Amino acid sequence: MTPGFCDRPLAQTEPSGVSISTPYGSCLLLETVVPLQLALPRPEEAQARLSQALSLIYGIGPVREALLKAQGYTMFDLVRHPLYGQDAAFWAEALTRRDLPRLGQGLCRWYSASHPLLLSLVALAQEDDIVLLDVESMGLSTLPVFLVGIGRISLGAKKLWVRQFLARDLSEEMAVLAQTQAELPPQPLVIGYNSKAHDWRQLQARLAYYGLGNLPEAAHVDLLFFVRRLWSAGLGDCSLSQVERRILGRTRAMDVPSELVPLYYEAFLRTHELRYILPILAHNREDVVSVALLLGRIVEEHARGAFSA
């Protein structure tokens, strides 16, 4: 779906952006480019680690996995095994094809949500398939979504592109949802902070409400679980704002607490005053940037051996 761009000038009550058209109406697009220095694991190393994730194979538990790994077995070695061969071939094919949704589902089924093997998915993903996601809504998953922030990484250019889709009023929610669908690759690797349980499910619920179809099959790396594993003892509160201050050393010049975002948006709908919507846009954008920085920090901690399988 390719958006068409409207020529009409934006009113002074709207933030600076471009009005884009979709088959379901228009919404506002805002784009920001942020410098980003990010080092990800090497694909060869990630593939080698995943080839030893033998607990993916039905009938192999942690004890047997350790025994087989000690004997030098990988998933590929077990393809012809009389007992494990069929399931080993299934996972070996997924690994060879870099089928991240299939691998992600298996890893989440048999390993913890903060297992370092999930970071291997980031290394195996094509750059264009990595999506950093943050969603702002009116509250619970049944309530409207009015802002979606999507971050795309360019390791070569050392930049992060943040695209935000804003509903200037609630009649534009369908356009925001449709444009979000169009923005996602066929099999994305979605990285966020509490994104799998909240953001992704809320998008799917609102798409279903309007009968707009489903989100693509995706793999998920939710950084909240890694933060809890690495730093919860010292942090206590694992909110993203706390992680920004204590782990990333970031402070925001303009921010609105997450719990007040719906109230600010309601005030914007009533008054159309920029002082209510600009902090929300900044909040959403900075959440996406922090997810990118936090991913880099967690990868660094893993490389230093800060947490083990």
Quickly list H helices, the chain: 43-50, 62-70, 85-96, 100-110, 117-124, 173-183, 200-210, 223-235, 240-243, 261-271, 274-303
pLDDT at residue 191 in the model: 97
Report pLDDT for 48: 94
Contact 224, 200 (CB under 8 A): no
CATH superfamily of 30-35+125-303: Ribonuclease H-like superfamily/Ribonuclease H (3.30.420.10)
Instruction: Please give the average pLDDT of every successive group of 10 residues along the chain, which has 309 residues.
Output: 33 78 97 93 92 94 92 94 95 96 94 92 95 94 93 95 97 98 96 93 96 96 95 88 93 84 96 94 96 96 76
Residue 2's pLDDT is 31
Q: How many CB atoms lie within 10 A of CB 306?
A: 13
- Alpha helices (runs of H) in 162-272, residue ranges in sequence order: 173-183, 200-210, 223-235, 240-243, 261-271
pLDDT of 160 = 97
Query: Which residues, listed in sequence order, are joined to residue 190 by a DSSP beta bridge?
Result: 131, 220
Measured CA to CA, the distance from residue 271 to residue 74 in angstroms comes to 62
Q: Note if the pTM is more than 0.85.
A: yes
Q: Measured between alpha carbons, how far is 196 from 182 in angstroms, rounded to an integer?
A: 19
Assess contact for 295 and 145: CB atoms under 8 A.
no
Neighbours of 223 (CB within 10 A): 22
pLDDT above 90 as % of the chain: 82
CATH 3.30.420.10 domain locations along the chain: 30-35+125-303
Predicted pLDDT at 3: 32
Output the pLDDT for position 14. 75
**Cβ count within 10 A of residue 235:** 16
**Cα dist. 158→36, 103, 121, 261, 286 in Å?**
5, 28, 20, 31, 17
Structure tokens at 15: 């933030």
DSSP labels, 285-302 = HHHHHHHHHHHHHHHHHH
